[in-house]
Amino acid sequence: MLEVDRITTRYGAITALHDASVSVNAGELVAIVGPNGAGKTTLLNTVAGLLRPATGSVRFDGNDITGAEPARLVRAGLALVPEHRRLFNDLTVEENLRLAGCTTKAHERRQRLDEASELFPVLRDKWTTSAGYLSGGEAQQLAIARALMSNPRLLLLDEPTLGLAPTLVDVVFDLLVRLREQGRTMLVVEQNATRALRLADRGYLLRSGRVVTTGTGAELAADSGLFDSFIGTAS
Ligand code: ATP
């Protein structure tokens, strides 16, 4: 479904990704892990069209989407849950969701809102609350619900558990399990590396902008030597 082929992405003189290749097949949950500054967010933002790679290509469903406009990518079936959520804090939960669904037909939008209130009971109870008043866990669920409003075939999640209390981390991981059970394809960047890899079909370890190891989630999660040498260290 997604083929990222040897992309190099730069911020001015800083090369954040070097020749990185990642693929995601339909129905898979793929985890990207690695230390701070490894290039994980850069990778997701390049796929989502927020950054344009200097070299390499991104293909989605066989079509070249390298450097395509983010809005076009949402229409093509790709949605990003960005790091730090980036909600409209002055708008209510419902308004955030309606805004995200404004390009879909009215009956589809209604269906998606119903699905959101079923999948996220916490949000149903806060439907008319401004997003700025939500707790971290609630806001993260709203960010995921918002991305689902376009019914994406590929969901990109950037650090969905960042800054959450342990019980809320559990809520978000349970949610990933449920989305996977629904057949949703996901590419997830996660700081809870071992836990994400245990859940993932496959994983990639990034370091200093390069893919240094790839394998099944179980293989990578079990490789403690690998983790000791990367996680918690500078890139
Ligand atoms: P973290 O877990 O800390 O978010 P990450 O693996 O997501 O790290 P990126 O945020 O992709 O890493 O950053 C990769 C490299 O690019 C780092 O060296 C970072 O300092 C640099 N970088 C990221 N954003 C910018 C920017 N806007 N301008 C310049 N350099 C940047």
- Tens-digit pLDDT profile for residues 172-207: 899 899 899 989 999 999 988 889 999 999 999 999
Residues of the domain holding 80: 2-230
pLDDT at 8 over 90: yes
34 in contact with ligand 1, CB cutoff 6 A: yes
Token representation of residue 181? 């059970």
Answer yes or no: is 235 within a domain: no
Ligand 1 binding pocket includes 11 (Cβ within 6 Å): yes
Mean pLDDT of 19-34: 96
Instruction: Look at residue 115 and tell me if it is in a domain.
Output: yes
Percent residues over pLDDT 70 in the chain: 94
> 229 CB contacts (<8 Å, ≥6 apart)?
none
Helical H segments across the chain, by residue range: 40-47, 70-76, 93-100, 106-119, 121-124, 136-148, 166-181, 193-199, 217-222, 224-230
**pLDDT at residue 233 tops 60:** no
How many domains is the chain partitioned into structurally?
1
pLDDT value at residue 106: 76
Half-sphere exposure of 64 (CA within 13 A, CB side): 8
Q: Is 234 in the pocket of ligand 1 (CB under 6 A)?
A: no
CATH number assigned to the domain comprising residue 91: 3.40.50.300
State yes or no: pLDDT of 55 exceeds 60. yes
In short, whether 9's Cβ falls inside 6 Å of ligand 1 is no
Per residue in 103-119, pLDDT (tens digit) is: 777 788 888 888 887 88
Q: Which atom of ligand 1 is nearest to the CA of 191?
A: 2
DSSP SS3 for 166: helix
Nearest CA to ligand 1 atom 21: 16
Within a domain: residue 195?
yes
User: pLDDT per residue over 60-78, tens digit each?
Assistant: 999 999 988 888 888 889 9
145 CA → ligand 1 middle, Å: 26
151-165 pLDDT tens trace: 899 999 999 988 888
DSSP 49-77: TSS--SEEEEEETTEE-TT--HHHHHHHT
Give the closest residue (by CA) to ligand 1 atom 18. Answer: 37
pTM of the model: 0.90
Pocket lining: 16 vs ligand 1, CB cutoff 6 Å:
yes
Locate the ligand 1 atom nearest the alpha carbon of residue 206 and give its number.
6
Which has the higher per-residue pLDDT, 167 or 54?
54
